[in-house]
Homo-oligomer: A and B are copies of this chain.
Amino acid sequence: MGRVFKERTSVNEALQLFLESFSSLRHTEELPLEACTGRVLAEPVISGRDVPHYRRAAMDGYAVRASDTSGASPANPVFLQLSDEVEEGTSIWVHTGAALPEGADAVVMVEDTFTSGDMVEIRSQVYPGKNVGQIGEDIKKEDPVFEEGHLLRPCDAAVLASLGLDRVKVFRKPVVAVIPTGDELVSRDRAGDVPPPGMVLETNGLMASLYVEKWGGIPRYTRIVPDRPESIKEAIQANLDADMILLSGGTSVGKRDHAPGVVESMGRLLVHGVGVSPGKPVALGVIDEIPVVCLPGYPVAGLVALYFFVRPGIRKLGSVPQLPETILRKRLTAKISSKIGYVNFIRVIFEGDRVRPLTGAKSGALSSVAKADGYVLVPEHIEGYEEGQEVDVFLVE
């Protein structure tokens, strides 16, 4: 008999154990606003200025003393003298955004006026403050503007710029070492040649690196490591300066599956064997407070482990807030059968208003993911879904 998984941890429990085993990074860096999109604020932002910093006209029109317009209407207009300053009986043209002249307390919009020579006919009564943007109306000095942990969007960069800031302190991106393991792997440097039988090009590490980057980490994609415990151990040791370590391959229970054992020997193995299909061989651990994920070598299983554990792991390390995910409600074109006791990851293709499950797809066939637009997760306790049933569909990102 071969070795078997000692236990099988549910997805939720495994994720909780994993996320509890390490802390968010507190290292920060300062970036120019031009580079802050998608980054997370590492300190609250308090405004150092009033915005606007002067009383401004909110419309094109004539700056007036509101009291001078008392009773004005189209049938009964008030006439004011055009002048260089606003005092009783005089007015000055102002455009939107211009500073309101001293003495004025309102703006009559141009549509309610008529000019003739050096006189302006005011056809509408205004109250003090009408069409005037007051100092600090948008943001007051000392106002809290953003909290620590805010995920910066382009519109936020513009707000920060309007406060006179040109740099902003954000959390550093986590560095994630991606270590492909396996005697059968051939480096992509030799992608031009078909490898000999039994050998395959390294592609899982490439995939993991690109997801790490997409999710806000900095991938460190290392050389291929052979299936020997000492080699894996050395590779881990060489990357203990990273914030997270991903080992790809060698995580099942076969003779050549050394990754979980090495993690156990160097730190704590939290989980080996998760109730997700594909993806069961995932192992999760922590070495020197650095989270370690052992990704199954079967590409779809590896992808599931990336989605289920690496994505939330990077979010926690980088303090990236969880945004609502795009979830579509779609009807199935065909029945899905699912393995009880496992969350089943079912790839689906959009077909008109519906989704077609790729039910025959094997976990070794990454092409099934490439064909897929999304996926459906069937919970542990459910045997599957019927044709025509409405299900939640997540996008393959």
Interface set of A (CB-CB < 8 Å, partner B): 1-2, 4, 33-34, 37-38, 49, 51-56, 58, 60, 95-99, 110-111, 114, 133, 137-139, 145-146, 153-159, 161-162, 164-166, 184, 188, 191-195, 197-198, 200-204, 206-211, 213-214, 252, 254-256, 297, 299, 303, 323-326, 328, 362, 364-367, 369-370, 395-397
Contact = CB atoms under 8 A, between A and B. Distances in A.
Given A110-B2, A364-B138, A157 B54 contact: no
A154 B53 contact: no
B111 A197 contact: no
A269 B188 CA distance: 51
A201 B164 contact: yes
A150 B38 CA distance: 24
A244 to B, nearest CB: 17
Contacts of A362: 58, 133, 137-138
Listed residue (A53, A55, A201, A395) with the most chain B CB atoms within 10 angstroms of its CB: A201
A1 to B, nearest CB: 6
A114 B2 CA distance: 9
Listed residue (A99, A192, A197) with the most chain B CB atoms within 10 angstroms of its CB: A197
A162 B201 contact: yes
Per assembly, the copies of the chain total 2
Contacts of A111: 1-2, 4
B162 A203 contact: yes
Contacts of A297: 96-97
Given A191-B165, A365-B138, A396-B153, A200 B97 contact: yes
Contact of A367 (B38, B51, B98): B51
Contacts of A137: 362, 365
Given A138-B362, A156-B370, A159-B367, 18 more contacts: A37-B210, A38-B214, A53-B194, A95-B256, A96-B254, A97-B184, A98-B184, A138-B364, A153-B397, A154-B208, A155-B369, A158-B204, A161-B203, A162-B201, A164-B194, A166-B191, A324-B326, A324-B328
A51 B199 CA distance: 12
Listed from nearest, the 7 A-B pairs whose CB atoms lie closest are A154-B210, A54-B197, A158-B207, A99-B198, A99-B197, A2-B110, A60-B254
A53 B146 contact: no
Contacts of A55: 197
A200 to B, nearest CB: 7
Contacts of A303: 155
A202 B97 CA distance: 13
Contact of A207 (B49, B157, B323): B157
A142 to B, nearest CB: 14
Listed residue (A98, A111, A207, A209) with the most chain B CB atoms within 10 angstroms of its CB: A207
Nearest to A256: B95
A357 B166 CA distance: 30
A155 to B, nearest CB: 5
Contacts of A146: 370
A254 B95 contact: yes
Contacts of A201: 161-162, 164
